[in-house]
Structure 1
Amino acid sequence: MPRSQRNDNFIDKTFTVMADLILKVLPTSSQSKTAFAYYRDGMSAQADGEYAEALENYQAALELEEDPTDRSYILYNIGLIHASNGEHEKALEYYHQALELNPRMPQALNNIAVIYHYLGTQAEEQQRLEEAEQFFDRAADYWKRAIQLAPNNYIEAQNWLKTTGRSNIDVYF
């Protein structure tokens, strides 16, 4: 039984019913519908913390999905799982792949910045100050790009950019 049919909570069931209705109405190929079903099951598994199952579903969706924007969200979610597991290099790879397909994805830019900031903090704690500054500069670059795409988001990043002197822009929109 597909995961989407096992959801216990009302919101997940409602989403599944609505998604199924939309898929029936929209003129999409069988392959696209199957890809979406895998993606939906991947999101459900990810929300439940079942990362291995989510990755399997996302990989199956990637094999079938042809639309670049849809593929970018699948890749982004794979990156989220790797980041959650502390696999920063893998997460960065998937976020960058997502951005190649969809450069207007501020959440991927933000998550890349978060990883670089984390790596900078780690380097700073280990007294590798030059390396830390390089990571912080990279984080700043990605946060600036994310904020330009979504100026009302990432307020903490905006404050960090200002307080560290990495941005002299007060308003991004």
Structure 2
Amino acid sequence: MPRTQRNDNFVDKTFTVMADIILKVLPTNKKAKEAFAYYRDGMSAQGDGEYAEALENYEEALTLEEDTNDRSYILYNMGLIHASNGDIDKAIELYIESIELNPRMPQALNNIAVLYHYEGEKAREAGREEEAEALYDKAAEYWKQAIRIAPNNYMEAQNWLKITGRSEMDVFF
């Protein structure tokens, strides 16, 4: 049974109904509509914590979707799943792919920075100080890029950059 027929909560049902209406009225080709349906089902499965099902739907959406901007969001969502499953390298790889398709995606830049910072914390706890500093420097570079795109976001990152001396950026908001 398709996911669109299984949703039990009001928000999911509302989202599905709206998505179906949009699919019917959008002046686009059948392949793009099918890609969106897989993307929609992937988002629904992801929201329910059904990550394997979400990844299957996203993979299928990627095979059909031709629009680079839409592909970037599919890859971004796949990165979220891999990050939450602890596959940091795969998550970073997917975020980088999404940024290559859509360079103005601060959330992907932020997520890469968060993952590098997390890995830096683990390295520091393990006594690998040089490795930790290198990872923090990588995190700083990605946070600076994200902040340039969205200067009113990522306030904690901005504070961390200033406190650690990794940024001289002055962001006025």
What range is the shorter-chain TM-score in? over 0.9
Tell me if the contact between 1:123 and 1:131 (Cα under 8 Å) persists in the aligned partners. Answer: yes
- Give ranges in structure 1 of 5+ residues lacking alignment: none
Counterpart of 2:133, as a letter, is: E
Counterpart of 1:135, as a letter, is: L
Residue number in structure 2 paired with 1:109:
109
- Give ranges in structure 2 of 5+ residues lacking alignment: none
Residue number in structure 2 paired with 1:59:
59
TM-superposed deviation, 1:170: 3.1
> Would you say how many aligned residue pairs link Structure 1 and Structure 2?
173
Q: Hey, what's the Cα distance between the residues in 2 that align with 1:9 and 1:60? A: 25
Tell me if the contact between 1:147 and 1:172 (Cα under 8 Å) persists in the aligned partners. Answer: no
Secondary structure of the structure 2 residue equivalent to 1:167:
coil
Q: Hey, what's the Cα distance between the residues in 2 that align with 1:144 and 1:172? A: 14
TM-superposed deviation, 1:58: 0.4
Q: Hey, what's the Cα distance between the residues in 1 that align with 2:172 and 2:100? A: 23
Q: Hey, what's the Cα distance between the residues in 2 that align with 1:28 and 1:172? A: 41
Residue number in structure 2 paired with 1:47:
47
Deviations, residues 83-137 of structure 1 (Å, cap 9, x unaligned): 0000000001100110110011001000000010011111111111111111000
How is 1:86-165 mapped onto 2 (pairs within 5 angstroms)?
86-165=86-165
Counterpart of 1:121, as a letter, is: E
Provide runs of 4+ in structure 1 moved above 6 Å: none
Counterpart of 1:113, as a letter, is: A
Secondary structure of the structure 1 residue equivalent to 2:73:
helix
Counterpart of 1:40, as a letter, is: R
Q: Hey, what's the Cα distance between the residues in 2 that align with 1:7 and 1:150? A: 34
Identity of aligned residues (%): 74
Q: 1:68 to 1:172 in 2, by over 3 A?
A: farther
TM-superposed deviation, 1:6: 1.4
TM-score normalised to structure 2 length: 0.96
How is 1:9-28 mapped onto 2 (pairs within 5 angstroms)?
9-28=9-28
TM-score normalised to structure 1 length: 0.96
TM-superposed deviation, 1:172: 5.5
Tell me if the contact between 1:78 and 1:94 (Cα under 8 Å) persists in the aligned partners. Answer: yes
Q: Hey, what's the Cα distance between the residues in 2 that align with 1:76 and 1:58? A: 10
Q: Hey, what's the Cα distance between the residues in 1 that align with 2:5 and 2:32? A: 19
Counterpart of 1:13, as a letter, is: K
Q: Hey, what's the Cα distance between the residues in 1 that align with 2:161 and 2:14? A: 40
The CA RMSD over aligned residues, in Å, is: 1.1
